[in-house]
Amino acid sequence: MTNRPYILYRSLWSALDLLFPPVCGGCGKVGSHWCMECQQRVQILNGTVCEVCGLPQDTDGICNTCRAERPHFRALRAWTIFEDPVRKALHKLKYYRNFSLGDALAAQISDFAKGLNWHADMLLPIPLGRQRMKERGYNQSAMIAKPLAMALNIEFAPQALARRKETRSQVGLSKQERHKNMLGAFHATGVSGKTILVLDDVSTTGSTLSSSAEALLSAGAKDVYALTVARALPHHGLKHV
């Protein structure tokens, strides 16, 4: 089936590229928003991972951490590892208003997302708090989530999930501090009976995504899956995300 809305959306970006020659978000090369060389450098996180949290491990099954305290989402997966060139691209999208990278990254992530076979009804971005939204003016995760929802042909519903309270930045917090910081952070509406896919740019411990999943399930969601562009692995340290 032809996905006309998504084709038109991508065509709009292509038309803008004729007026404003794009620069690669990963390496700075002129000619495309996400060049072929950077695409080929992406390390897809598709090896043996925990069935729940998606962290790489040596054997199949559920990791010890998830067995001890299972997150509220059914499964979390990340497209790639939080390293360059993706790290640079996300930084430019998040802090330098390079909105075109949302479309460029979503186009490459879509095949990975389809391969998960999660069959979600709605795709929701992790929302920013009011103060952060006021300062930044946009939600970088939504810039990826909208074209990704179009590519997957599912409903994009950013209004279904909201911040209930202002939280501290997760940067520099330990796993325990992140978990405490996100307790009761979200409120959800309009998701009853739906299978939800919630998207964030980067995950480290999964605390933010687990808290959002808890709110969605409390609001009647049938099931919740979580997807991120990148995953910061333990050797990266929490202070660099």
Report domain extents, the chain.
44-240
Report, at the CATH architecture level, how domain 44-240 is classified.
3-Layer(aba) Sandwich (3.40)
Residues in the chain: 241
pTM of the shown model: 0.87
> Quick check: bond before 85 cis, omega within 30?
yes
The pLDDT tens digits for 100-135 are 899 999 999 999 999 999 999 999 999 998 888 988
In the predicted model, what is the mean pLDDT of the chain? 89
Q: Report the candidate in 211, 91, 208, 104 with the shortest Cα–Cα distance to residue 147.
A: 104
The pLDDT tens digits for 16-73 are 777 788 999 999 999 999 999 999 999 999 889 999 999 999 999 999 999 999 999 9
